[in-house]
Amino acid sequence: MLDDWAAGFGIDWARDLEGDFAEAEDMLRVQRLDPERMGRNGQLAMEGAAALGVSGGPIARNAGACVQCSSCPLGCPIDAKRGMHVSYLPRAVAAGARLRAGVEVRRVLVEGGRAVGVECRVAGDGNRPASTFTVRARHAVVVAAGAFGTPQLLSRSGLGNDAVGANLHIHPACWVGARYPEEVRGWEGVMQSYYVDGWEAQGILLEATFTPLAFGGAWLVGSGAEHQRAMLDYPHMGSIGVQLTDRSAGRVRGAGDGSLRISYGLDRADAARVVFGIARAAEVHFAAGAAEVYPNVAGVKVLRPDDVASFEAARIKPADLRLEGFHPMGTARIAADPRQGACAPDGSLHGTAGLYVADASLFPTALGVNPMMTIIAFAKQVGRRVAGAAERPLSAVDRP
Ligand SMILES: Cc1cc2nc3c(=O)[nH]c(=O)nc-3n(C[C@H](O)[C@H](O)[C@H](O)COP(=O)(O)OP(=O)(O)OC[C@H]3O[C@@H](n4cnc5c(N)ncnc54)[C@H](O)[C@@H]3O)c2cc1C
Ligand code: SF4
């Protein structure tokens, strides 16, 4: 993917991120999981993949002192997971950064074609009224408000070209649950434990993912008494997540009232790839000994081993799939040619001097793997270019 981005979008440095990945892995103490500590859900995915002869491996995680409580989606209660609040933010503060929490940036301020600061708002509460203030930039403004917030802020500020807000990718994903004769007790492990990348060429990544009941109960079959039975069966459930490298794209727009409008439609080709991924996840479950599989598709409650071929052959529409998206990206994408993207290869917004983007919005296409490390690597690359530009005297082009 990074080679494609270098060749197709002019991001030459995308071929050379090894050092940034290594530094980020060191900072976040990333370690490959010991199979003994994955939990049974991950071990079953590993056994199923091995029986089918498809490639995969234990997931590398930023959670060294993890006690395998599977509560990751609710926030790590013991800060074993090296989130930004225990890694990069303290380092930034130690280096002189000042943080203001609870503040919304309303507008990027531009004078003479150059970004010079931001206008901010602090919401009021029972004790104090709402207030606004501005921050003037010494060198540059860097926007890192995520693939929804960044285009919203840029549009609200009247900045950027037509690519701002377009090209939204989300890695559509679904759970494929299964009932095993043995007790899996998936909550006695880590949430994401084992990946299967043998179908990468088809745009499919499988990840053994088991979430606490309060989060994962949503994919269990049925309603009423049937759903209650499935809940009571939770100790026997296993789960694999299916993630698609989507070619379909959506759009983020600011509405007149300042709120956000997000539209995204999965096309039929991508829907077919998701169905392919669900079928492969079902095969992994069955190869590991599952008795039945729950594909999360409207009208198809349960699959048994002999049903996989007919499931794949059925005409399943995009709207029949029950999907989620955890990785928004691409809405201010980099492209050397401003007709193709919002930002130049150094992360600066085409058409506005002194304004940079440093988040998942920069990705030219869907990435295909969980994005955190690549976002950090991209932010580091942009940061270096911001620092480099700050050291140079203003050119006639940059000067307001
Ligand atoms: C449940 C869940 C699990 C995930 N698990 C993984 C995982 O295991 N591995 C992985 O690689 N990725 C994972 N991801 C995805 C990952 O968290 C995101 O892709 C990543 O955080 C995106 O980074 P970002 O910097 O682009 O944006 P964000 O992390 O979204 O940061 C943007 C920030 O800007 C703030 N903001 C927005 N607008 C404004 C404004 N106007 N003023 C001030 N602040 C603003 C937002 O509040 C937010 O804090 C997961 C996501 C979810 C939801
Ligand atoms: S499983 Fe997740 S929430 Fe629990 S300790 Fe490990 S990182 Fe933290």
- Nearest ligand to the C-alpha atom of residue 252: 1
Q: From the CA of 306, how far away is ligand 1's center (Å)? A: 41
pLDDT tens digits for range 306-350: 999 999 999 899 999 999 999 999 999 999 999 999 999 999 999
User: Cβ(33) to ligand 2 under 6 A?
Assistant: no
Domain locations in the chain as residue ranges: 33-71+170-325
pLDDT at 398 over 60: no
User: What pLDDT score does 400 carry?
Assistant: 40
Tell whether ligand 1 has an atom less than 6 A from the beta carbon of residue 146: yes
Inform me whether the pLDDT recorded for 397 exceeds 70. no
> Does the beta carbon of 370 sit less than 6 angstroms from any atom of ligand 1?
yes
How confident is the model at residue 395, as a pLDDT?
Answer: 46
Q: Which atom of ligand 2 is nearest to the CA of 75?
A: 3
Q: Which residues contact 120 (CB under 8 A, 6 or more apart)?
A: 100, 103, 104, 105, 106, 132, 133, 134, 135
Q: Does residue 59's CB lie within 6 angstroms of at least one atom of ligand 2?
A: no
Residue 128 tokens read as: 């104090």
What whole-number distance in Å separates Cα of residue 368 and Cα of residue 202? 11
CA 144–ligand 1 middle distance (angstroms): 10
Q: Given ligand 2 and candidates 33, 34, 62, 70, which is best to mutate, with the most ligand atoms within 8 Å of its CB?
A: 70
CA of 68 relative to ligand 1 center, distance in Å? 23
Catalytic residue of the set 169, 285, 327, 350:
327
Closest ligand 1 atom to residue 373 Cα is 11
Helices (H), the chain: 2-9, 18-27, 40-52, 88-94, 146-156, 213-216, 224-232, 268-287, 308-313, 372-391
Distance 146 CA to ligand 1 centre (A): 6
21-38 pLDDT, tens per residue? 999 999 999 999 999 999
Q: Is the CB of 169 under 6 A from ligand 1?
A: no
In this prediction, residue 73 carries a pLDDT of 82
| φ/ψ bin of 146: left (φ > 0), alpha (ψ from -120 to 50), beta (otherwise) | left
Our answer on whether the CB atom of 70 is closer than 6 Å to any ligand 2 atom is yes
**Residue % of the chain over a pLDDT of 90:** 85
Q: Give yes or no for residue 28 CB within 6 A of ligand 2.
A: no
Q: Show the 3-state SS of 27-67.
A: HCCCEECCHHHCCHHHHHHHHHHHHHCCCEEECEECCCCCC
* pLDDT value of residue 238: 96
Can you tell me the mean pLDDT for 267-293? 97
User: Average pLDDT in the 233-242 region?
Assistant: 96
pLDDT given for residue 393 in this prediction: 53
What average pLDDT is seen over the chain?
A: 93
Query: What's the CA-to-centroid distance between 91 and ligand 1, angstroms?
Result: 19
What is the model's pLDDT at position 70?
80
Is residue 327 among the annotated active site residues? yes
371 in contact with ligand 1, CB cutoff 6 A: yes
Q: pTM higher than 0.85 for the full model? A: yes
Question: Looking at residues 198-205, what average pLDDT do you find?
Answer: 97
pLDDT in tens, 64-115: 888 888 888 888 999 999 999 999 999 999 999 999 999 999 999 999 999 9
Please give the Cα distance from 378 to 24 (Å, whole number): 11
The domain over range 33-71+170-325 is classified in CATH as 3.30.410: yes
Exposed (0-12), middle (13-18) or buried (19+): which is 360, by Cβ within 10 Å? buried
Please enumerate in sequence order all residues whose Cβ is within 8 A of that of 1, keeping only pairs 6 or more positions apart, or say none.
365, 367, 368
The C-alpha torsion from 314 through 320 and 325 to 329, rounded to 10°, is: 70
Tell me the CA–centroid distance for residue 112 and ligand 2, in Å.
Answer: 49
What is the band of 303 on the pLDDT scale with cuts at 50, 70, 90?
very high
